[in-house]
């Protein structure tokens, strides 16, 4: 008796269950990474015989040597950078002004346009019409086609529009009285105030560009234009048929599991490097202090 | 500094009309306060002057120029917003300089102006802080700085003090007044707080329901409210209002409240031959006394004591007169024990206001008569 407890029994059980679930989620997201890294540094035979679980077995960098010596690997790596950087820029150039316009109450036919954008979230024409459309626009097998063809994104526009709508109107009104035109209101008020939301959609764009695979495979013909993901697939397919590779398998230095893993590791690194810089903008407090409601 | 004139100004939001054709003329250098209960259209009126809302009908002139179609930035007005609207990503200096930068003014001139304004407002030490790191009063000052730095023709304030606590509000109120003396700029100030209105205004505009009720100096409105609305709005506690009918006793007019209370009324022309006319008797709490104090012509009014609220040097005495609640304000001079057996209070007939019960208008107001 008498011991004072701030939390009820139910609260404590809830806390423990939460911790357990979070741990489970962390493990299930982290483990594939660890596994891929372990595989990439292991000997092929060890992987094939299922010995690798969490750390490398028979440590070797043979897989990396093989990957990094391929000219096409570097070409595709460069291409992925091109698609990611210019694709993300194109996306931002389209969705920021788009979301801003859609957030303006004075936009003519605002409801219609908003409906129009949201509509594409649930319904689209499908793959074949899209392909034919790209073909007829002369956008097959071109950098530009990949960059511009996938720049618009209804989901990101809607996220950003909602954020813009939540910015107190008095910011804009103060700027207008100070002499700002529409463009300056967007550039000097809405964009700085929406860093967190813009960082979110930027990260979406970067990740989806970096991992872009399917349409690149469908739309690109020339080897020198393919991105990393397509190269990865090509390699896996090619390795199976490669005789030299088959003979190297006998020496059990690497297998196509270890080579694929090495490509994946190498391809993840840039995203891991960029993330912390973007993450710092995920700061809810950014709006605090400017207005008082 | 420019005069501001509103002529028959209407505002409609779709089918709903919220400002019903107001006329208002504000002199150059004047400090005018729009006051009224929440939702009466003060902000809407101010925002039409700012150019943030379109005028549905009528004209607004600033400095003799009709500005209905002029963009906010070209009206040469500056506004202090209720929520301050400081940019969180900019520091104090950048916030103040924002408008000047947009106008592409030379850098060294901007720096000089910002330093000047910061010195005026006591912000010099804070120029590199972000809004998030400022107190409420400091943020308020930055918001004022942003308006002042542009040296506009007209300042607009929309409830600038309503986010501050009571003490800071009093302090900032005095600062705004000092600032106005110094800048001598035409100012339109919106508030729902009658104390702010009384203390700041050269002239007060009392609004209700999208109409102007009365315009005048604080003392004019306090002493001669045109109707029961203004009478009840200005003054704290507000004027007591008792429903009564006109009658006569000893050759003078009296107000009959209930069956047995008679309050002597001032000798007004409008009260001659008005037997039985329904009126409202207005008595300011300050005009009452709990002792006769040698005022021979003061009438004693019987009342039942309800409760005493000591405020220190003064006390509020809540009583009822023929079941109507009435508040008296009296000096305590250090004691309240004598207030607990109040059975009667005194008021001079000259201090009593008489309103028509049907129209609510003051019987003797020059604008009414
Ligand atoms: N943008 C708007 N759309 C529709 N009604 C509005 C709008 N702005 C204000 N109103 C209405 O106009 C009336 C006056 O509002 P406002 O001028 O803000 O009052 P106050 O500032 O005196 O409190 C209110 O009834 C309010 O609901
Ligand atoms: Mg308001």
Residue A86, SS3 per DSSP: helix
Residue at A4 is within a domain? no
For residue A19, the model assigns a pLDDT of: 94
Question: Where is pLDDT greater, at B182 or A278?
Answer: B182
Name the more confident of B356 and A278.
B356
Domain B238-356 architecture: Beta Barrel (2.40)
Q: Residue A289 and residue B78: Cβ atoms within 8 Å?
A: no
Q: Give the SS3 label for residue B291.
A: coil
Q: Look at chain A and report how many structural domains it folds into.
A: 1
Residue B125 has pLDDT above 90, yes or no: yes
Q: Is A125 part of a structural domain of the chain? A: yes
**Using a CB-CB distance cutoff of 8 angstroms, which residues of chain A are in contact with residue B52?**
173, 176-177
For residue B57, what pLDDT is reported?
96
Cα Rg of chain B, angstroms: 25
From A253, A101, A220, A100, select the one nearest A150 (Cα to Cα).
Answer: A220
CB contact under 8 A, B83 and A292: yes
ipTM of predicted complex: 0.85
* pLDDT over 90 (residue B128): yes
Question: Closest residue (by CA) to atom 8 of ligand 1?
Answer: B44
B13-34 mean pLDDT: 96
Residues across chain A: 293
Other Cβ atoms closer than 10 A to B289: 17
| pLDDT of amino acid A293 | 41
Indicate which ligand has the atom closest to the C-alpha of B40.
1
B87–A192 CB contact, under 8 Å: yes
Instruction: Check if A166 contacts B (Cβ < 8 Å).
Output: no
Any domain includes A2: no
pLDDT tens profile B145-161: 999 999 999 999 999 99
Q: Is the peptide bond before B181 cis (omega within 30 degrees of 0)?
A: no
For the ranges A47-51, B170-174, B187-191, B283-287, which has the lowest average pLDDT?
A47-51
CB contact at 8 A, B31 and B202: yes
E strand spans, A90-165: none
Residue B10 has pLDDT above 70, yes or no: yes
Q: Taking CA atoms, what residue in B is nearest to A173?
A: B52
Phi, psi at residue A185, to the nearest 5°?
Answer: -60, -45
Domain boundaries defined on chain B: 4-232, 238-356
Query: What is the pLDDT confidence band of residue B279, given thresholds at 50, 70 and 90?
Result: very high
Residue of B11, B13, B54 to test ligand 1 pocket, by largest number of atoms within 8 Å of CB = B13
* B103: contact with A, CB 8 A cutoff: yes
Q: What is the mean pLDDT of chain B?
A: 93
Q: Are A179 and B83 an interchain contact pair (Cβ–Cβ within 8 Å)? A: no
Judge whether A236 lies within some domain. yes
Least Cα distance to A181 among B81, B90, B104 occurs for B104
Going by C-alpha positions, the residue among B176, B5, B187 that lies closest to residue B79 is B187
Structure tokens at B156: 């607009």
Q: Any idea of the CA torsion for B164, B170, B172, B175, to the nearest 10 degrees?
A: 170
Distance from CA of B203 to the nearest CA of A (A): 26
Name the strand (E) or helix (H) holding B283: strand B278-283
- The chain A residue lying nearest B158, using CA atoms, is A170
Percent of chain B with pLDDT over 90: 81
Across A229-238, B6-15, B76-85, B304-313, least confident range: A229-238
**Strands lying side by side in the sheet with B288-289:** B288-289, B344-347, B299-302
Check pocket membership of B191 for ligand 1, CB cut-off 6 A. no
Residues in chain B: 369
Other C-beta atoms closer than 10 Å to the C-beta of B98 total: 23
Q: Which of A142-151, A276-285, B11-20, B333-342 has the highest mean pLDDT?
A: B11-20
The one-digit pLDDT tens for each residue of chain A (293 residues) are 556 677 788 888 999 999 999 999 999 999 999 999 999 999 888 887 888 888 888 888 888 988 888 899 999 999 999 999 999 999 999 999 999 999 998 889 999 999 988 888 888 778 899 899 999 999 899 999 999 988 888 999 999 999 999 999 999 999 999 999 999 999 999 999 998 889 888 888 998 999 888 888 888 888 899 999 899 888 878 777 765 665 555 555 777 788 889 988 988 888 888 878 777 765 543 443 444 44
pLDDT of residue A285: 37
Asked: is B4-232 a CATH 3.40.50.2300 domain? The reply is no
- Residues spanned by the domain of A121: 9-290
B13 has pLDDT over 90: yes
For residue A1, is it within any domain? no
Q: Whose CA is nearest to atom 9 of ligand 1?
A: B44
Domain membership of residue A277 (yes or no) is yes
């Amino acid at each position: 008796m008498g011991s004072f407890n701030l939390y009820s029994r139910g609260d404590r059980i809830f806390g423990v269950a939460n911790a357990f679930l979070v741990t489970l989620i962390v493990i299930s997201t982290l483990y594939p990474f660890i596994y891929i890294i372990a595989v990439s540094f292991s000997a092929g035979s060890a992987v094939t015989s299922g010995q690798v679980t969490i750390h490398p077995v028979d440590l070797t960098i043979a897989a990396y040597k093989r990957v990094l010596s391929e000219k096409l690997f570097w070409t595709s790596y460069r291409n992925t950078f091109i698609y990611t950087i210019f694709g993300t820029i194109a996306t931002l150039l389209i969705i920021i002004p788009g979301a801003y316009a859609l957030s303006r109450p004075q936009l003519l036919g605002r409801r219609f346009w908003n409906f129009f954008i949201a509509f594409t979230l649930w319904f689209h024409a499908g793959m074949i019409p899209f392909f034919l459309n790209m073909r007829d626009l002369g956008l097959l097998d071109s950098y530009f086609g990949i960059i511009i063809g996938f720049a618009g994104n209804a989901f990101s526009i809607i996220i950003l529009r909602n954020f813009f709508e939540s910015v107190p109107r008095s910011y804009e009104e103060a700027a207008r009285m100070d002499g700002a035109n529409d463009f300056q209101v967007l550039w000097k008020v809405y964009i700085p105030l929406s860093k967190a939301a813009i960082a979110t959609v930027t990260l979406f764009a970067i990740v989806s560009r970096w991992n872009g695979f399917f349409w690149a495979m469908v739309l690109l013909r020339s080897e020198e234009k393919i991105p990393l993901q397509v190269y990865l697939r090509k390699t896996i397919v090619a390795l199976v048929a490669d005789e030299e590779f088959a003979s190297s398998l006998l020496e059990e230095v690497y297998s196509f599991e270890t080579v694929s893993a090495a490509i994946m590791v190498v391809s993840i690194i840039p995203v891991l490097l960029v993330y912390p810089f973007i993450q710092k903008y995920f700061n809810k407090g950014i709006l605090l202090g400017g207005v008082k409601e | 500094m420019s005069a501001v004139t509103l002529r028959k100004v209407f505002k409609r939001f779709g089918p709903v009309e919220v400002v019903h054709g107001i006329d208002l003329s504000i002199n150059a250098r004047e400090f005018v306060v729009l006051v009224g209960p929440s939702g009466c259209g003060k902000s809407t009126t101010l925002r039409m002057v700012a150019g943030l809302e379109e005028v549905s009908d009528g004209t607004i002139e600033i400095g003799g120029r009709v500005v209905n179609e002029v963009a906010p930035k070209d009206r040469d007005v500056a506004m202090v917003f209720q929520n301050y609207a400081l940019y969180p990503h900019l520091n104090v200096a950048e916030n103040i300089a924002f408008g000047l930068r947009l106008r592409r003014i030379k850098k060294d001139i901007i720096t000089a102006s910002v330093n000047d304004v910061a010195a005026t407002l006591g912000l010099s030490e804070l120029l590199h802080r972000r809004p998030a790191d400022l107190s409420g009063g400091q943020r308020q000052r930055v918001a004022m700085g942003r308006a002042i730095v542009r040296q506009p023709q007209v300042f607009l304030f929309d409830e600038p003090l309503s986010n501050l606590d009571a003490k800071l509000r009093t302090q900032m109120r005095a600062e705004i007044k000092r600032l106005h003396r110094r800048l001598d700029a035409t100012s339109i100030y919106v508030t729902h707080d009658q104390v702010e209105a009384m203390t700041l205004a050269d002239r007060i505009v009392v609004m209700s329901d999208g109409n102007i009720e009365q315009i005048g100096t604080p003392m004019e409105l306090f002493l001669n409210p045109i109707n029961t609305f203004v009478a009840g709005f200005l003054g704290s506690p507000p004027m007591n209002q008792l429903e009564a009918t006109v009658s006569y006793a000893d050759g003078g007019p009296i107000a009959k409240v209930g069956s047995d209370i008679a309050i002597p009324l001032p000798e007004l022309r409008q009260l001659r031959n008005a037997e039985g006319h329904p009126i409202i008797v207005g008595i300011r709490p300050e005009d009452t006394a709990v002792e006769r104090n040698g005022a021979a012509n003061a009438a004693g009014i019987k009342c039942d004591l309800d409760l005493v609220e000591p405020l220190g040097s003064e006390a509020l005495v809540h009583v009822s007169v023929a079941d109507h609640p009435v508040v008296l304000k009296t000096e305590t001079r250090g004691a309240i024990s004598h207030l607990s057996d109040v059975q009667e209070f005194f008021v001079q007939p000259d201090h009593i206001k008489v309103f028509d019960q049907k129209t609510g208008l003051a019987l003797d107001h020059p604008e009414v008569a």
